[in-house]
Chains A and B, each alone.
Chain A
Amino acid sequence: GAVVSQHPSWVICKSGTSVKIECRSLDFQATTMFWYRQFPKQSLMLMATSNEGSKATYEQGVEKDKFLINHASLTLSTLTVTSAHPEDSSFYICSARPSSPTDYGYTFGSGTRLTVV
């Protein structure tokens, strides 16, 4: 089956610093990757869609300059939270869509718990 690896699983950073989260598709090529944010006991909110080799498409209300997304290859996308503040603390999850159709739907990473202190 399709596997997506997300690192780190959790990170604590100081306010004002930047944090990078990696999302890798391990056994398939992912044309498109998605980044979500999830607050406690709430559903997944799509932040942005990234396509390999092109600029990410951000959802309304998501700050492009704060949440930098890079999708440099068919197996790797990164989300960088710049100048993090406590309100950026959340659970961030990536998902990937295989280049070839599968019946697995979209595969999700295990998530990253970000705490900004």
Chain B
Amino acid sequence: EDQVTQSPEALRLQEGESSSLNCSYTVSGLRGLFWYRQDPGKGPEFLFTLYSAGEEKEKERLKATLTKKESFLHITAPKPEDSATYLCAVQARTTDKLIFGTGTRLQVFP
């Protein structure tokens, strides 16, 4: 069964304190792994798509990496505006569906 597990559930960081969020997955043939950001009361906002192990993508203070079993979202020198829930999802080759993890609630305080 395809499954996504994210850790930690919640993370509190001081502004400027870098950290990483983890997304472990099992899928029957990975088509893509997705990272989204979700603010309270809003829909998820697309961040990255990773397709194969070893791939990395960056956007501002965020960097996503992928191995055969997990993905990391590295946050460098976070700011309070980075506070949000970060969702990881996988898509298997045989389906159009995305399987989501439960997310990591990130809070960055000044």
Contact = CB atoms under 8 A, between A and B. Distances in A.
Interface residues of B, number: 19
A67 interface: no
B29 interface: no
Contacts of A71: none
Contacts, number: 51
A79 B76 CA distance: 40
Interface residues of A, number: 24
A42, A43, A93, A108, most chain B CB atoms within 10 A: A43
B42 interface: yes
Contact of A43 (B42, B46, B96, B100): B100
Interface of A: 4, 6, 32, 34, 41-44, 46, 49, 91, 93, 95, 97, 103-111, 113
Interface of B: 32, 34, 36, 41-46, 49, 87, 96-98, 100-103, 105
